[in-house]
Amino acid sequence: MNTQFKAALLTEDTRFYEEIKAPSMEEQEIRLDVYRNNITVSLVEALCDIFPVTQTLVGDDFFRAMARIYVLNNPPSSPIIREYGQNFSDFVRNFEPAQSLPYLPDLAALEHAMLTLTHSEEYETLDHQAVSEAFASVEDPSVLSLGVPPTTQILVSPFAIGSLYQAHFSDGHQRLNQVDITKSEYLLLVKSHLYGQLHVIDKEEAIFIKNLMQEKTLENAIPESDAFDLGETLAKLIEWKILTNITQTKTN
């Protein structure tokens, strides 16, 4: 009965109607609609919590109307509500009324990625002293490998979605209009202090961190660019709590 009830709540399935005591099928449907509406409203509210920046940008009415259509066509596959909306960005990408905002799907994908990161495992990281001691312990720092959490992500977007995200959560909604959305961005996503953290970085920093993720030594991780500053980048990685270990490559 539970399976039929769930199907009836989120679809037009009528098999559960016979379980509802009412004088007519019309009355059965009216009574079931009460539950259907409660479930739909709850899932729409969940999407509002998961995608607050997207909601702010398109407005509450537009977002709720879009979310309702998504809910009716995408019932939850897990009882864990934070896992809902995994394919919401794909839905937005194909949602005709949102086509005038080409950056919206990427923003929605970023928001869900940040939520997922927040609920992922957090790893112990090195402080400034530990990093300094590791570098001082070797004659040639280029043989060192710098470890980062396996949940670390580097994203590249043709739009300034990272700046939009930061503007929403840091200085309020007024700065959203000041973001040049047409600028491409490199984004670093890490978990620190219990939450997913987002940092807008430059291309050289993105290349360097990507190389660290591939367990390359400093010699092979540093990008060939005069614009890259190793000391400044390491200072950022220490501050952002992203370095988990430093090991020395064995040489013959």
Domain boundaries, the chain: 2-118, 128-248
Q: Could you give the count of Cα atoms lying within 13 Å of 60 in the half-sphere of its Cβ?
A: 2
Nearest to 154 by CA among 122, 192, 193, 113: 113
Tokens (6 digits) for 47: 């999407």
pLDDT at residue 1 in the model: 38
Number of Cβ within a 10 Å radius of residue 191: 23
What is this structure's pTM?
A: 0.83
Q: What number of H helices and E strands is found in the chain?
A: 11, 5
Quickly state the pLDDT bin for 178 (edges 50, 70, 90): confident
Q: pLDDT of 28-68, one tens digit each?
A: 555 555 556 678 888 999 999 999 999 999 999 999 999 99
Q: pLDDT of 133-160, one tens digit each?
A: 999 999 999 999 999 999 999 999 999 9
Number of Cβ within a 10 Å radius of residue 175: 14
Q: How far apart are the first and last CA of the chain?
A: 68
Q: SS3 sequence, 125-157?
A: CCCHHHHHHHHHCCCCHHHEEEECCCCCEEEEE
Quickly state the pLDDT bin for 80 (edges 50, 70, 90): confident
pLDDT at residue 175 in the model: 73
Instruction: Check pLDDT > 90 for residue 216.
Output: yes
Tokens (6 digits) for 2: 């539970």
Mean pLDDT of 66-95: 91
Which run of H or E residues covers position 248?
strand 245-248
Residue 196: strand pairing partners: 191
pLDDT at residue 212 in the model: 97
- Report the chain's mean pLDDT, rounded to a whole number: 87
Higher-scoring residue by pLDDT: 37, 13: 37
Nearest to 31 by CA among 2, 9, 1: 9
